[in-house]
Amino acid sequence: MAVIAAVEAGGTKFICGLGTEEGKIIEKINIPTTNPEETMKRVIKYFKDKKFDVMGVGSFGPIDPVKGSKTYGYITKTPKPYWSDYNMIGELKKHYDVPMEFDTDVNGAALAESWWGAGTGLKNLVYITVGTGIGAGAVVNGTMLQGLTHPEMGHIFLKRHPEDKFEGRCPFHKDCLEGMAAGPAIEDRWGKKGQELMDKDEVWELEAYYLAQALVNYILILSPQRIIMGGGVMKQQQLFPLIRKNVQKFLNNYVYKKEILEEIEKYIVYPGLGDDAGFIGSIALGKIALDSLK
């Protein structure tokens, strides 16, 4: 049985572990994300005595996942201190001579959800995480979407709510989707963390207004067969009916499909892999490396 080593490189923690070709977790540990030297030393120490055939690495972005590119395997320009222009795959390759696959954590999660999660059997879906940042990945015709680089669907531009005066907090665009609707934007706008605002309906109405616009754009551009929404903010389950209602309202019967008109509660859903979607996404990336050997 082949063993897949998997790394989910996140902004607050790295999850390292081992998994199977069927997307099952054998074991995993958490390592806090500090600077690259310290963090990667602990990652390498963890895998030192492990036996594995391939490695999948799903990372926070922006990254360069395009094979053949000069900076392939790098975390590229990030506002995250210390991590700009960091050669993540280069460092791992120094220690492990196994085939590796590198992509965004959300592209990996989208693939894993299409194989083993809430989108099993679907060849076109979008996975979006709403947490410290907003990121989304896509599976299109059965493969992860990649082109010039990876998609950056967390930074799209939206119609501002007429009563919303919050200026937005994306360091690049101010009031893009992430700047208006990620966890830190909720905290800045309302003065408290999302976890503490559960009973404030206006918070979730506004949040759903922005997230639904994003989903409408994804639907119109990519035509996903399902949209999967994870991340800390989506723990507020009351968001789901609000988002679904707004998606229907904004589309206004234009996409005339029963999935949206009649069965939207099956179309916009929580991850089937739950909180493990990101880590199992890295196992899915590893499986791509494994399949390339066959």
Enumerate binding residues for ligand ADP (CB under 6 A). 10-12, 131-132, 183-184, 187, 193-195, 231-233, 235-236
- Contact call for residues 188 and 166 (beta carbons, < 8 A): yes
Q: Could you tell me the smallest distance in angstroms from the CB atom of residue 108 to Zn ion?
A: 21
User: Which residues, at least 6 apart from 133, have a Cβ–Cβ distance to it below 8 Å?
Assistant: 11, 60, 154, 178, 182
Residue nearest to ligand ADP as judged by C-beta position: 183
Strands 134-140 vs 13-19: parallel, antiparallel or unpaired: unpaired
Residue (182 or 289) nearer to ligand ADP, CB: 182
Establish if 189 lies at the interface with Zn ion (CB under 5 A).
no
Task: Out of 27, 120, 123, 172, name the contact with Zn ion by CB under 5 A.
Answer: 172
Residue (172 or 254) nearer to Zn ion, CB: 172
Give the integer Cα–Cα distance in Å for 33 and 125. 29
Q: Which two tokens stand for residue 123?
A: 């060849």
Residue (79 or 121) nearer to ligand ADP, CB: 79
Handedness of CA 251, 253, 257, 259 (dihedral sign): positive
Specify which residues 4 forms β-bridges with.
Answer: 19, 54
Tokens 């507020």: give the residue.
Answer: 236
Task: Out of 53, 173, 188, 235, name the contact with Zn ion by CB under 5 A.
Answer: 173
Establish if 28 lies at the interface with Zn ion (CB under 5 A).
no
Contact region for Zn ion (CB under 5 A) — 136-144, 173-181, 191-199, 281-289? 173-181
Establish if 155 lies at the interface with Zn ion (CB under 5 A).
yes
Residue 194 binding: pick among Zn ion, ligand ADP, none (C-beta 5-8 Å cut-off by kind)? ligand ADP
Residue (8 or 178) nearer to Zn ion, CB: 178
Distance of CA 223 to CAs 95, 130, 260, Å?
41, 20, 11
Q: Could you tell me the smallest distance in angstroms from the CB atom of residue 132 to ligand ADP?
A: 4
Residue 132 binding: pick among ligand ADP, Zn ion, none (C-beta 5-8 Å cut-off by kind)? ligand ADP
Question: What are the φ and ψ backbone dihedral angles of 158, each rounded to 5 degrees?
Answer: -130, 165
The C-alpha torsion from 175 through 163 and 252 to 186, rounded to 10°, is 50
What is the DSSP secondary structure assignment for residue 160, as one 8-state letter? P
Which residues contact Zn ion by CB under 5 A?
155, 170, 172-173, 176, 178
